[in-house]
A and B are shown apart, each in its own frame.
Chain A
Amino acid sequence: MQNAIELKGLKKKLSSFELGPIDLTIPQGAIVGYIGENGAGKSTTIKLLLNLMKPDEGEIKIFGTPINRFSTKEKKDIAYVFDDLYFPGDMNLKNVLSFCRKFYKDAWQDQTVSELNARFQLPLDVAIKHFSRGMKMQLGMLLALSHNAKLLLLDEATSGLDPVIRDDVLDLLLDYIQDETHTVLVSSHILSDLEKAADYIAFIHKGKLLFMETKDDLVSQYGIASLTKEQLEEIDPKAIVGKRTHQFGVEALLKRDLVPSSIELEKANVEDIMVFMIKGER
């Protein structure tokens, strides 16, 4: 099967930050969680994918085509939801839908719009500047899912949402991914959501891609141990990914295959792995 996204040697220098080089391949049909701390480069990567920024070096391909050679027809296959709704605030839902109908033309699916709005119950005549954050995200998802796109990019779309709406968004993503030709890249800080939905986790830190692994492999590779300082000294340093020292000892993220079986390891979730990997440098 074709890859949905291929990044090769991608680099972008900004005033205070350098992204890359990044090599990342996202297979078609997957949900990939793109995680990293604030300022790691998640949004920059997504902006490069959407041609909102131009890379300094490297190649970006979507469905095997370099993005700078995308036709306007092929661009209909890409949908996106940002952390806010980027429409003039005085427009209401009716206006936004009319705009999108003209914008996406024959790709626009009024039936899908009706079904999703029956679910969200968004008001038609209220200016979107009066929408709550949750309503704006629901509208963003509605627009993204209404033109039969094959690739869905979400950039911090669930930040600031309550658990009920976030759960709704996850359900939509899981429905969307039922079609094997559909792919999702979700950039998020809410790692518990990604653990529920993602097939792969890609971790970016200070502009560098530290790993991209299946969620199951990731969780099975690492474990957390609570140790004394003396016990920690006996462990192969290569096994220690990161540690946190506290009053009673040390909590360490360890690679399971490099640690003796006598060390009791607790299951590490994605958030633990991310925090330990970042704090392990300090």
Chain B
Amino acid sequence: MKALIYKDLVTLKKTVLFVLVILAVICFIGIREGAILMLPFVFVIIPLILLGILFGSDAQSKVDSYVIPGPIKRSTIVLSRYSFVWLITIIGILFTILLKIFTKDSSLEMVPWYLIIATIALITTFIATIQLPLMYKFGAEQGKLIFVVLYFIIFGLFTYLGGKKEYIIELMGKLEILNLKLLCLAILGVTLVINAISCGISTKIYADKEF
């Protein structure tokens, strides 16, 4: 699996630099406009973009034909893609916690770190859990079409949430009466279950694929 993650990182070398630049610009604008709470949601799109590029690159190079006969199981090949998404998730969590520590935005200060972990894990991996089985089933080109549709859905969601900042703060207030830690544990549990189901479906699709 290390070999596959290494290959993916080498493939994305130039793209990652580009994404970091975009992230820096969005952060700057977000901090200046006081929309700090929207910044972690950028990590919803990052796996979407990077997975699209990876699948496209793999389809073009036919690297599966080299990897599959090698000393690796097909399930491990699929798992490496999900591990990649979780790598981005961990970066997203760290980023958000750092934002919380170093900025003094009221909306983010109200959010406990365990809720950050649970929420970022869910939102970052959720789209990938839908995208990955579809890409394994339909391939890179049709997968990119799905990406475009999902992008517009997320963009719409961001735009909607952008106008509902007060609602989110109010929601945080309501959630305080619940046992938030248990709620976060439940969110994390649901995230892990969704990922496991998605990984199982992707593994089954990939196991039956012929090259």
A196 at the interface (CB under 8 A from B): no
A130 at the interface (CB under 8 A from B): no
Q: Which residues of B contact A84 (CB under 8 A)?
A: 62
Q: A86-B61, A87-B61, A90-B10 are in contact. Are A52 and B71 (CB under 8 A)?
A: no
Interface positions of A from 83 to 134, Cβ below 8 Å from B: 84, 86-91, 95, 98-100, 102-105, 107
State in angstroms the CA–CA spacing of A105 and B1 once bound together: 11
- Contact: B6 with A98, CB < 8 Å? yes
State in angstroms the CA–CA spacing of A87 and B57 once bound together: 9
Q: Which residues of B contact A98 (CB under 8 A)?
A: 6
- Contact: A95 with B62, CB < 8 Å? no
- Contact: B70 with A75, CB < 8 Å? yes
- Contact: A80 with B69, CB < 8 Å? yes
- Contact: B68 with A87, CB < 8 Å? no
For residue B83, give the distance in angstroms from its CB to the closest CB of chain A: 14
Q: Which residues of B contact A99 (CB under 8 A)?
A: 3, 6-7, 10
Identify A102's interface contact among B3, B62, B211, CB under 8 A: B3
A78 at the interface (CB under 8 A from B): yes
- Contact: B62 with A86, CB < 8 Å? yes
State in angstroms the CA–CA spacing of A89 and B10 once bound together: 11
A47 at the interface (CB under 8 A from B): yes
State in angstroms the CA–CA spacing of A103 and B71 once bound together: 7
Q: Which of B14, B62, B64, B65 has the most CB of A within 10 A?
A: B65
Q: Which residues of B contact A88 (CB under 8 A)?
A: 7, 10-11, 57-58, 60-61, 63
B73 at the interface (CB under 8 A from A): yes
Q: Which residues of B contact A172 (CB under 8 A)?
A: none
Q: Which residues of A contact B73 (CB under 8 A)?
A: 72
State in angstroms the CA–CA spacing of A47 and B69 once bound together: 9
A53 at the interface (CB under 8 A from B): yes
Interface positions of A from 10 to 60, Cβ below 8 Å from B: 47, 50-54
For residue A45, give the distance in angstroms from its CB to the closest CB of chain B: 14
Identify B61's interface contact among A50, A53, A89, CB under 8 A: A89
State in angstroms the CA–CA spacing of A93 and B9 once bound together: 15
- Contact: B71 with A76, CB < 8 Å? yes
Q: Which residues of A contact B62 (CB under 8 A)?
A: 84, 86
A63 at the interface (CB under 8 A from B): no
- Contact: B69 with A86, CB < 8 Å? no
For residue A17, give the distance in angstroms from its CB to the closest CB of chain B: 14
For residue A98, give the distance in angstroms from its CB to the closest CB of chain B: 6
State in angstroms the CA–CA spacing of A118 and B61 once bound together: 27
Q: A88-B57, A99-B7 are in contact. Are A78 and B65 (CB under 8 A)?
A: no
Identify B68's interface contact among A50, A73, A90, A105, CB under 8 A: A50
For residue A279, give the distance in angstroms from its CB to the closest CB of chain B: 32
For residue A144, give the distance in angstroms from its CB to the closest CB of chain B: 11
B104 at the interface (CB under 8 A from A): no
Q: Which residues of B contact A102 (CB under 8 A)?
A: 2-3, 6
For A207-226 the 0/1 string (1 means CB < 8 A from B) is: 00000000000000000000
State in angstroms the CA–CA spacing of A5 and B80 once bound together: 31
State in angstroms the CA–CA spacing of A124 and B58 once bound together: 22
State in angstroms the CA–CA spacing of A86 and B69 once bound together: 12
- Contact: B211 with A103, CB < 8 Å? no
The 5 A-B residue pairs with the shortest CB-CB distance in the complex, in nearest-first order: A102-B3, A50-B69, A103-B3, A86-B66, A52-B211
Interface residues of B (CB under 8 A from A): 2-3, 6-7, 10-11, 13-14, 57-58, 60-73, 208, 210-211
Interface residues of A (CB under 8 A from B): 47, 50-54, 72-73, 75-76, 78, 80, 82, 84, 86-91, 95, 98-100, 102-105, 107
Q: What are 12 pairs between A and B in contact, CB < 8 Å?
A: A52-B65, A52-B69, A80-B66, A86-B63, A88-B57, A88-B58, A90-B11, A99-B6, A102-B3, A103-B67, A103-B70, A103-B72
